[in-house]
Chains A and B, each alone.
Chain A
Amino acid sequence: MHEFHYRAGRRRRLWLPLLLGTLAFANTALAATLSIGIQGEPASLDTARIGGTTWENDVLGDLFEGLVTLDPAGEYIPGAASRWDISDDGTVYTFKLRDDANWSDGEPVVAKDFVLAFQRLFDPANGAVYASLFYPIRGAEAHTKGEQDAPELGVEAVDAKTLKITLNQPTPYFPTLLAHIAASPVPSHLIEQFGNDWTQMDHIATNGAFAPTSWTSHDHIAARKNPEFHDADDVALDGVDYYPVEDRSAGLQRFRAGGLDIVRDFSPDRYQWLQENLPGAVHLAPQLANYYFALNQRDGHPTADKRVREALNLAIRRDVIADKIMGGVVSPAGGFVPGGVSHYDAQTMPGLDRTMDKRVAEARSLLADAGYGPDHPLELTLRYSTTEANKRIAVALAAMWQPLGVETQLINAEGAVHYAELANGNFDVGRGSWVADFDDASNFLGILQSDSPKNYGGYRSQAFDELMAKASRETDIAARQQLLQQAERQALSDYAVAPIYVDVSRNLVNPGLEGWENNALNRHLSRWLSLAQGN
């Protein structure tokens, strides 16, 4: 572990281990090992069996390298592929793999490793959670669904170093998908030998900048620099240790005590305090992530009435939530797709530009039109998953709607129950959020499509669906952008959801760490980082 003392003096630290007469902090030999506090335990190191959590990106992103990867600023750059050609109709991608791409056991990375990775991703037996992300690939959906007459999967090895991927239709954002950890290759030579046990520590080989050496569940995953990595000469760190730290205040304390160099999240409540006490370590950056409330549009729910949805949206003081409740760390959102998404201009819900008084008056008259009033108050159930911030926002919403005569019943539940209830449609207003898998507006807007399992509110709009379908076929980036923006405007004018704020990434970073750049994807590969001497 790298010794980093933020406030505690070095001298005070030295005598106690001596007093205790034990090994203690004899870590200086591992001078360039980075310690990252990740938000939880990865489900697996096997891309076909990961659980779909953000912290899996931190670990697998360092261990594996897909065809495309990310630079420090979160921009997409060639990874295991040195270059690729796209057919004129935009459906066939031919990737040339790097000649110097190797697995950590010295075997070369070959096209077959990618073919097997995708086959495993779409194999129903693996139940891979990210399979649907890659449905643009020909045959992917049919294979995942286990259909008998599924067409041949559109991923093939032309030769050892040439990979061909065929898509159903042109998908301009396809290369960005390939930087996702689920598109990483697997060592086919090890899978042939060990099957699903290939991720065990005495078998595993990885093709990223680091290779794992040990994993003690809920303690840490240790990875050392992979000398076989094609860019190994430019990797400054000797190793990375990933510590799952679920408790955010515990993470902060371990950071302050010098045990962690990076902590991947902190409570928004602590922002002011951190700014005053650890100003050089606090990194706050807009993220491709939103926070919203789903409005149930199924029959029998008051929110099925567009006037009710509009009224509720108009009465929400998003600036108050962002500034007062979230401590000014997030920015209020008038649209569903957060600002900062590439090739996209953020949209705003109609009516939010008026003064608050006018909005509340309008909301009152809309509710009156919908048949609600003092004699017949609008009664809503609002569901949220149990966290302190969610609770405060829910209470604030109820208070903002109260002057309209709305009686809001708040129901909170732990995550598993909350999302099961949302999926079952057991709510009027339900808290949701989305963190982008890749930098494209379709990753957000897709949630509102009629057939999306994440469309909790059951929003159904033919116009919206058609615009989305049209956009998915459009190869011209500018024209596609227009279609997607038009689709969002449609959803916003239907008041399909109640957007609240655009989330931010919150990281604590040792000021002695070099190479860290805040980016909207909040992905930070350790290969770009280095620890300055003396920290």
Chain B
Amino acid sequence: MLIYTLKRLLQAIPTLLIVITISFFLMRVAPGGPFDGERQLPPEIEANLMAAYHLDEPLPMQYLRYMGNLLQGDFGPSFKYKDFSVTELIMQGFPVSLEIGGLAILLALIIGLPLGIAAAIKRNSTVDYLVMGTALTGIAVPNFVIAPIFALVFGVLLGWLPAGGWNGGALPNLVLPVVALSIQQIAYIARMMRASMIEVLGSHFIRTARAKGLNEGEVIWRHAIRPALLPVMSYLGPAIAGIITGSVVIEQIFGIPGIGRYFVQGALNRDYTLVMGTVVFYGVLIVLMNLIVDLLYSALDPQIRYDD
């Protein structure tokens, strides 16, 4: 298993290199630069700025400089948030996104899995239709609709919870963003769990288990749930990586200082180093999460072994 893990990690290096290289050049191909804005600068000041950030060098040179710094773990300075380095921005924002995203996934699992299982067991019953209908609604209504409605209803009209702000991560400030972020995930997980549960319940080993005279509860708890979790697991890898790197919509609407907005704002501001920093960070996370999922697979399914 250790060898397998190491192998996977080594394989990730060329993948990341390609991602970084493509992102680096794509970013530069985009029209407009980091210093284009309503306040068009005199040419001499723009030149000073370009020189300060080495943007006056030929592109391949900039690329080599960037890669060199990256190897030393230096993401460079942000062009737009000059009192912070990109590393500082990510280190400040990531724990926040991790907390919100982690809680949202946890909530989604706690609610989504039982719902999916219940719907599968009571297939084509009222429970099933109710759960799946609600789930479909959850998938169909996007974040940018749910979040402002939550803020309006619970923050303004009822006044139960803050309409926004982080407040150091105080519980009342967490509730609305976490719930808003988890709704879609609950829906996805419930649907996925239902489908795979139905498949597992129709398989031979379940029939064998029933034939052995096990009661239905034991069949489900001891034999069906574990294999049924596998598709959910493989969905969770990239989903977790996506959700803990923040949601720009949720962060902007609730004023959460996570890193989700850096993806969008960095790109809009042409803050090259910030965009690259988030891309590298996200890339590494995806690779790691997928690896963890694959390792967990073997724990859930005895047929999967990585040692050979």
Contacts and interface: CB of A to CB of B under 8 A. Distances in A.
B255 A254 contact: yes
A143 B36 CA distance: 23
B6 interface: no
A256 B151 CA distance: 10
Contacts of A442: none
A362 to B, nearest CB: 33
Interface in B130-180: 148, 151-152, 155-166, 170-172, 175
Contact of B40 (A51, A249, A433, A453): A453
A113 interface: no
Contacts of B151: 250, 253-254, 257
B39 A250 contact: no
Contact of B45 (A125, A127, A418): A127
Interface string B61-89: 00000000000000000001111100011
Given A218-B93, A254-B255, A414-B268, A24 B172 contact: yes
Interface stretch (A13-21, A170-178, A187-195): A13-21
Give the size category of A's interface with B.
Answer: 35 or more
A46 B82 contact: yes
Nearest to B164: A254
A493 interface: no
A250 B253 contact: yes
A219 B52 contact: no
A253 B176 CA distance: 14
Interface string B81-101: 111100011001100100000
B41 A416 contact: no
A361 B263 CA distance: 51
B49 interface: yes
A12 B83 contact: no
Contacts of B33: 416, 420
A453 B42 contact: yes
A250 B159 contact: no
A415 B80 CA distance: 14
A160 interface: no
A423 B39 contact: no
A23 B170 contact: yes
A22 B161 CA distance: 12
B257 interface: yes
Contacts of A250: 148, 151, 163-164, 252-255
Interface in A1-37: 5, 7-9, 12-13, 16-17, 20, 22-25
Contacts of A218: 93, 251, 257-258, 261
B163 A254 contact: yes
B252 A246 contact: yes
B49 A7 contact: no
B43 interface: yes
A129 B261 CA distance: 25
B159 A257 contact: yes
Nearest to A424: B31
A253 B150 CA distance: 11
Interface string A123-152: 011111101100000000000111000000
B263 to A, nearest CB: 13
Contacts of A81: none
Given A416-B269, A454-B40, A126 B48 contact: yes
A415 B268 contact: yes
Give the size category of B's interface with A.
Answer: 35 or more
A8 B253 contact: no
A8 B38 contact: no
Contacts of B88: 217
A159 interface: no
Interface in A217-231: 217-220
A52 interface: yes
A16 B154 CA distance: 11
B148 A249 contact: yes
Contact of A43 (B32, B45, B80): B80
B44 interface: yes
Given A43-B80, A132-B45, A144-B48, A219 B257 contact: yes
A62 interface: no
A323 B252 CA distance: 30
A44 interface: yes
B236 to A, nearest CB: 27
B37 interface: yes
A247 B252 contact: yes
A257 B162 CA distance: 7
B164 to A, nearest CB: 4
A360 interface: no
A49 B96 CA distance: 27
A415 B82 contact: no
A44 B43 contact: no
A421 interface: yes
Contact of B41 (A25, A418, A433, A453): A453
Contacts of B164: 245, 250, 253-254, 257, 259
Contacts of A522: none
B159 A9 contact: yes
A419 interface: yes
A249 B148 CA distance: 8
A424 B162 CA distance: 46
Interface in A251-285: 253-254, 256-259
A45 interface: yes
B51 A8 contact: no
Contacts of B84: 217
A434 B96 CA distance: 36
A219 B165 CA distance: 7
Given A243-B165, A250-B253, A421 B156 contact: no
Contacts of A256: 155-156, 163
Interface in B238-293: 251-258, 261, 268-270
Contact of A217 (B48, B89, B165, B252): B89
A45 B82 CA distance: 9
A216 B83 contact: no
Interface string A31-59: 00000000001011110010110000000
Contacts of A43: 80-83
Interface string B113-131: 0000000000000000000
25 contacts: A5-B159, A12-B158, A20-B171, A22-B170, A22-B171, A25-B172, A44-B83, A125-B52, A129-B45, A144-B44, A144-B45, A217-B92, A217-B257, A218-B251, A218-B258, A219-B257, A254-B255, A256-B155, A256-B156, A257-B156, A259-B164, A415-B36, A419-B36, A419-B38, A453-B42
Report the 5 A-B pairs with minimum CB-CB distance, sorted nearest first.
A8-B159, A416-B32, A127-B49, A219-B257, A257-B163
Given A8-B159, A253-B148, 8 more contacts: A20-B171, A23-B171, A52-B37, A126-B48, A132-B42, A216-B166, A250-B255, A257-B162
